[in-house]
Amino acid sequence: MASPSGHPHVFDHHSDRANADPRAYYAQFRTACPVGRTPAHGGYVYTSTYADVVRVARDDATFSSSREADPDGEGTVIVIPRGAGLEQFPIELDPPRSTPYRDLVDPLLSPDAVARLRPMIARHTARVIDAFIERGSADLVKDLTNPLPAAVTLYWLGFPEADWALLAGPIHDIFAARAGSERAARGAAGLGVMDQRIRSLVRARRVEPHDDAVSVLVRARRPDGSPFTDDELVSVIGLLVAGGVDTTTSLTGSTLVHLARHPAQRARLIAEPDLLRGATEEFLRAFSPSQSMARTATTDTSIGGCPVSHGERVLVAWVAANHDPVVFPDPDTVDLDRDARRHVSFGIGTHRCAGAHLARAMFTEMITQVLTRLGDWTVDEDGLEEYPTKGNQTGWDAIPARFSPGPRVAVPNSTLVVESTHEIAEEIVSVTFTAPGGGSLPDWEPGAHLEIVLPSGQLRQYSLCGDPTDRARYRIAVLREDDGRGGSLELHHIAVPGLEVGFRPPRNHFPLLPADRYLFLAGGIGMTPLLPMIRAVAASGTPFEVVYGGRRRATMAFVPELEPLGPLTVVPYDEVGHPDFPHRLAGTPPGTAVYACGSPSMLAAVESACTAVGLELHTERFTAPGDPGEPGDLSNLGDPATNTPFEVVLHRTGTRLSVPAGLRLIEVVRQARPNLAYDCESGYCGACETRVLAGVPEHRDSLLTDTERASGRTMMICISRCAEGPLVLDL
């Protein structure tokens, strides 16, 4: 199968043809011969479909990641061809040998742990951009996408600043270089220095622990109480350095080039900042830094009808899976509204990237600050330098750019002072600002948002929900999001009277327009931009109605303020389920303007219903708990009226927990295991796949095969429930 019909060229993912356009290259083979064998690089079997990539990546028993499965080669085994690299635990081990190392790193990179890092990430991003923003030009690789991930990763681990460039350089060379090139040799030589620096830091932290990740690792113990050896820690830390330093560099660079070439999409992200959260998954799908990895067959088997022999190497092509039109229609188009959460850019299964949450946090912070601070950037197309090979990793060596010079955020345009804070609902705090020394603030109209420069350097936008006629005060309401980008956590922690923050004057992309009557639809914190509109409409005497939904009554902050204004329907999801928008909108009189703000799933339902009956719809998008696949997603619960409570036992500690009908299993387990590893929370990715020791799961995921479901040996605790209990989990 080396030369399938219609393809006179031998498959080689490092060839010039593949490098010219990897997506088109894989598409041609996917059509003519989806799985095949090639003699390139010593011989291997390639894959090109989403189904085959996922099957190989999840089957650790048949397709090994261990160097022991390919003892004749040298160097790292997880790429083709094998190359220089320290042995990397746990990614170059198979379960169960990999499990202790995965348990070692997962708590450091859980959503909760990364949330605590976000202020530090924002601070470093602001500092890095401050260094060049006044020039009006920069190499976005050398000046931003390289130094920022290196600074964040190495600061978090505990390396001194003098080591940052020393350790990041070899990683970038290895990822970018062609196998056997002088650059690859230079990178390999640098790994010796990295090994020495890691060992030195491990020894130092054993003697004198600091507040950093390496200190946590050296203090960690196995289940039997024994410590990890220096060699083991060097391997684990080496993987954390390699994974953290360069992959986010690649993703961010590719996204910045794409947005410079597609200014309409850039304008949307600037106008709708919360669109970035969902768009991040599409950028990951389209511009996966890791293009491929490799496995070794442990037995005779087959993939997609192609026989595979024991010991053969298998290419797991993430880029091909991410562009398989069976899963992602029109895959070569970057669609900011696509639900791309099934992408495999972080891998899938037991070796799914432990640092996925940290990568997203660094990426979103860099993109957010570029959009808000360098929003008119252009790139010099003639000066762009791509990686010389895209077979295993893709990215950029140089992205020269120009933009309008701007100020350092250390000197924001203006400042506000916190006058008061009040907890107005569960995990929602109201913050009122005034001008320093009093005086009038810039005016605003209903629907406007305020951009805050937090002490950490983070720039965040919040809808104004106060009174536009009060020129002395601004009021916002902030939902605490443990899995957000860190701004809400920072405000919840530090917002006290007298705190001074930077701000930029209000802007309005969601204005209230004249209409005969209004219908306001809000989900959760989405009420904030609508509240001033409702007050204004009520004062004008124009007919209106309000439908206000939320997880529970305790989370619905504005009911007392809304009740005196006019017709209000309150919809607590845990009591009555989600609103029936088609039914509700079907009877709405013609000429009604519908204003809606809430989660993407809510807005999609409203948009569909409005289109069906011909109503004018105005939306403000935000991302918060309640969106599909995000923490707090209620769509995964099913109908609360049909869910049943059950008991779960965490076997390793003997902890017994009750899971009520209105909560997901993972929400309850996280109360006992706050550093639990998880990601998509929709049953797509496999990050939370957990062994079931007793009981029968009720599977609701879309990843397990029918055979795996029938066996009941594992379950996705993010979305699945219990059919026969109690469930006993290997946790």
Q: Is residue 210 over pLDDT 60?
A: yes
Residues contacting residue 444 through CB under 8 Å, at least 6 positions apart: 450, 464, 468, 474, 506, 508
State mean pLDDT over 361-381.
Answer: 95
Shared-domain flag, residues 140 and 262: yes
CATH number at residue 222: 1.10.630.10
Share of the chain above pLDDT 90, in %: 64
Final residue belonging to a domain, choices 346, 369, 402: 402
Task: Count the Cβ atoms, other than its own, within 10 Å of residue 5.
Answer: 7
- Integer CA distances (angstroms), 708 to 217, 351, 650, 702, 704, in order: 34, 18, 21, 12, 6
Assess whether 693 and 603 both reside in one domain.
Answer: no
Which CATH number goes with the domain that contains 720? Answer: 3.10.20.30
- pLDDT score at 484: 56
Helix (H, G, I), strand (E, B) or coil at 256: helix
Region 332-351: mean pLDDT is: 94
Instruction: Name the DSSP letter for residue 93.
Output: S
Rounded Cα gap, residues 123 and 457, in angstroms: 5
Residue 343 lies in a domain: yes
Query: Within this chain, do residues 497 and 556 fall inside the same structural domain, yes or no?
Result: no
Partners of 401 in the β-ladder: 138, 379
Lowest-pLDDT range of 155-159, 241-245, 284-288, 488-492: 488-492
Of 367, 369, 378, give the one whose Cα is nearest residue 403: 378
CATH of the domain at 609: 3.40.50.80
pLDDT at 667: 87
Using pLDDT thresholds of 50, 70 and 90, give the confidence band for residue 629: very low
The answer to whether 694 and 726 are in contact (CB under 8 A) is yes
pLDDT at 407: 86
The string of DSSP codes covering 434-479 is E-TTS-------TT-EEEEE-TTS-EEEEEB-S-TT-TT-EEEEEE
Tell me the two tokens of residue 243.
């994974």
CA separation for the pair 600, 609 (Å, rounded): 14
Alpha helices, DSSP H, located in 563-634: 573-576, 581-586, 600-613
602 and 669, same domain (yes or no): no
Which DSSP state fits 549?
E
Q: Judge contact between 555 and 625, C-beta under 8 A.
A: no
* pTM (two decimals): 0.76
Residue-wise pLDDT for 70-100, tens only, equals 887 788 899 999 876 678 899 999 999 999 9
pLDDT of residue 480: 87
Q: Per-residue pLDDT for 489 more than 60?
A: yes
Q: Is the pLDDT of residue 3 over 50?
A: no
Does any domain span residue 67?
Answer: no
Count: domains in the chain: 4
pLDDT at 628: 34
Span 557-612, pLDDT tens digits: 999 999 999 999 999 988 888 888 888 898 899 999 999 998 888 888 899 999 99
Asked whether residue 218 is domain-assigned, the answer is yes
Task: Please check whether residue 8 lies inside any domain of the structure.
Answer: no
Q: Is 512 within the bounds of a domain? A: no
* Average pLDDT of the segment spanning 709-724: 91
Q: How far is CA 322 from CA 201, 318, 361, 489, in A?
A: 38, 6, 21, 33
Q: Does residue 92 lie in a domain region?
A: no
Q: Of 456, 486, 507, which residue is a domain's last? A: 507
Residues 493 and 573 in one domain: no
pLDDT over threshold 50, residue 398: yes
Judged by DSSP in three states, 419 sits in strand
Q: Are residues 272 and 125 in the same domain?
A: yes
Structure tokens at 389: 């090979």
Q: What is the pLDDT of residue 370?
A: 96
Residues 573 and 648 both lie in one domain? no
Question: In whole angstroms, what is the distance from residue 595 CA to residue 121 CA?
Answer: 35
What separation in angstroms does the CA of 325 have from each of 57, 288, 390, 696?
19, 16, 21, 35
Closest residue by Cα to residue 10 from 48, 35, 40, 44: 40
Strand partners, 396: 386
Note whether 606 and 488 are same-domain residues: no
Q: Give the domain extent around 488.
A: 414-418+425-507
Give pLDDT, residue 604.
86
Check: CB of residue 338 under 8 Å from CB of residue 328.
yes
601 and 628 Cβ atoms separated by less than 8 Å: yes
**Confidence band, pLDDT 50/70/90 cuts, at residue 249:** very high
* DSSP per residue, 136-188: TEEETIIIIITHHHHHHHHHHHT--GGGHHHHHHHHHHHHHSPTTSHHHHHHH
Cβ count within 10 A of residue 657: 18
Residue 639 predicted with pLDDT over 80: no
CA-based radius of gyration for the chain:
26
Averaged pLDDT score across all residues of the chain: 89
714 and 565 both lie in a single domain = no
21-35, 318-332, 375-389, 409-423, range with the lowest pLDDT: 409-423
- The reply to whether 124 falls in a domain is yes
Question: How, if at all, do strands 313-316 and 293-297 pair?
Answer: antiparallel
Together in a domain, 641 and 586: no
Average pLDDT rounded to a whole number, residues 59-78: 89
Give the pLDDT band (50/70/90) at residue 668. very high
- For the stretch 503-533, pLDDT in tens is 878 888 788 999 999 999 999 999 999 999 9
Residue 434 shares a structural domain with residue 580: no
Given 483, 507, 531, which residue is the final one in a domain? 507
Is 60 exceeded by the pLDDT of residue 15? yes
Give residue 392's identity as a one-letter amino acid code.
Answer: N
Q: Which residues have CB under 8 Å from 437's CB, separation 6+?
A: none
Q: Please give the pLDDT value at position 631.
A: 33
DSSP codes of every residue in 106-127:
GGGGSHHHHHHHHHHHHHHHHH
Is 277 found in the same domain as 253?
A: yes
How large is the average pLDDT for residues 8-16?
86
Q: What is the mean predicted confidence (pLDDT) over 625-644?
A: 46
Residue 574, in any domain of the structure = yes
Choose between 626 and 440: higher pLDDT.
440
* Region for residue 38 given its phi and psi (left: phi exceeds 0; alpha: psi -120 to 50; beta: otherwise): beta
* Helix H or strand E segment including 16: helix 16-20
The predicted-structure confidence for 325-335, as pLDDT tens digits, reads as follows 999 999 999 99
283 by DSSP, 3-state: which? helix
